Amino acid sequence: MDFYAAGDGATSDAEAFEETWKVACSSHNSEVIMYIPAGKTFLLNQTRFDGPCKSPITVQVDCKRIDVVAPNSLYSKPSDLLTFYGVDNLTVNGSSQTDGRGAQWWDCYNKKSLSLAHCNNLWVINIRLKDIGDKNLILYECMQVQVHNVSIAALGDSPNTDGINIGSSNHVNISSCSMHTGDDCVSILSGTTDVNVTNTTCGPGHGISVGSLGGVGDGPTLVERITVSNCSFFNTTTGVRIKLWQGGQGKATGFLFTKLRMTAIRLLIDIDQFYCPQGNGPPRDGGVAITDPLFVDIQGTSSERETIKIMCSKSVPCHDI
């Protein structure tokens, strides 16, 4: 408010947020807090917060009644709603709701999300994301990440609304989150290692997925050391799955899916080296190799007669399932 934010939900506050960020990011204090006060609704439009910053920084949202909302109109070009780029030692903390007013975006597939890229030693805790127009929370090229008590809500038929999308990142812990989406609750993409998802609920949505990996134009991929444990799934199309395009390169290895409870799931376990969401993908030789996926203590109910599907390539067979 010191930088003339209106906080009325109708006037753009992007400039005030950006000016506040510049001062906070350049501060040499040992503890820097960018404070978003209670009792206001802030309107942001494609706002970006760049690092590096001089000190560890916390973005603190103080009250559950605060909304950070997207304008109720279409932007001129695709972009992320809120982006933190190159900010190490960042904490995003609070119980406000980020409302993306996403239904208007669903036919456009524009990314309107909370995006964190090239951020190391990152904490994202106690936030709520609602009706983002595309992927909700994106982590790209981040290291040492804690995502805790994050709530994500989108309609079950909203397209491409992944809950948490992780690419080229490592040492990521996701705990005690709740995700209701129209796509994957958690999607783990190429270049990602050492991810732990625990005590999280998923549904509706498409479950927790490794991939898709190995698409046309992608280079060699590596995903390894992924653990999903003590999670619950409700009314999802799949529970846990590994999805790979034909013809890819690289490997996906070292997965543990354990102590999972599932209710009314179409496919509890799905391994698919012929992934093609449009159907009838052309046959291609080669593929991303799958080794050492371990499924332990998965219980519940399926909405279909088929509960487990394993579709592996003859040219690159699966090993040690």
In a domain, 8, yes or no: no
Distance CA 69, CA 55 (A): 28
Find the radius of gyration of the CA atoms of the chain.
Answer: 20
By DSSP bridging, strand 267-272 and strand 289-302 are unpaired
* pLDDT value at residue 102: 47
How far, in Å, are 92, 179, 319 from residue 124 at the CA level?
A: 5, 15, 36
In a domain, 34, yes or no: no
Distance CA 240, CA 138 (A): 20
Q: Domain containing 177 — which CATH number?
A: 2.160.20.10
* pLDDT value at residue 136: 85
In a domain, 51, yes or no: yes
How far, in Å, are 82, 94, 109 from residue 91 at the CA level?
A: 15, 10, 29
Question: Taking the model in full, what pTM does it have?
Answer: 0.92
Distance CA 296, CA 291 (A): 16
In a domain, 205, yes or no: yes
In a domain, 254, yes or no: yes
Distance CA 63, CA 157 (A): 30
Nearest to 250 by CA among 206, 210, 295: 210
* pLDDT value at residue 228: 98
By DSSP bridging, strand 82-85 and strand 47-50 are parallel
Bond prior to 52 in cis (omega within 30° of 0): yes
Nearest to 248 by CA among 195, 290, 207: 290
Domain of residue 261: give its range.
45-311
Distance CA 183, CA 162 (A): 5
- Residues with Cβ within 8 Å of 148's Cβ and at least 6 positions away in sequence, in order, are 123, 124, 125, 126, 173, 174, 175, 176, 177
* pLDDT value at residue 68: 59
Nearest to 44 by CA among 12, 66, 84: 12
Output the tens digit of pLDDT for each of the chain's 321 residues: 999 999 888 888 889 999 999 999 999 998 899 998 888 888 887 789 999 999 999 999 774 444 555 555 544 444 567 899 999 999 999 865 666 554 444 444 444 578 999 999 999 999 888 876 567 899 999 999 999 999 998 877 676 779 999 999 999 999 999 999 989 999 999 999 999 999 999 999 999 999 999 987 788 999 999 999 999 999 999 999 999 999 999 999 999 999 999 999 999 999 999 998 877 777 888 899 999 999 999 999 999 999 999 999 998 999 999
In a domain, 306, yes or no: yes
Structurally, how many domains does the chain consist of?
A: 1
Asked if residues 226 and 255 have their Cβ atoms less than 8 Å apart, the reply is yes
In a domain, 1, yes or no: no
| 42 alpha-carbon distance from chain centroid | 23
Please measure the distance between the N-terminal and C-terminal CA atoms of the chain and give it in whole angstroms.
Answer: 56
Give the SS3 label for residue 306.
coil
Distance CA 28, CA 32 (A): 8
Distance CA 255, CA 175 (A): 17
Q: What DSSP element (H or E) covers 18?
A: helix 14-25
Q: What DSSP element (H or E) covers 22?
A: helix 14-25
Active-site positions read 183, 206
In a domain, 321, yes or no: no
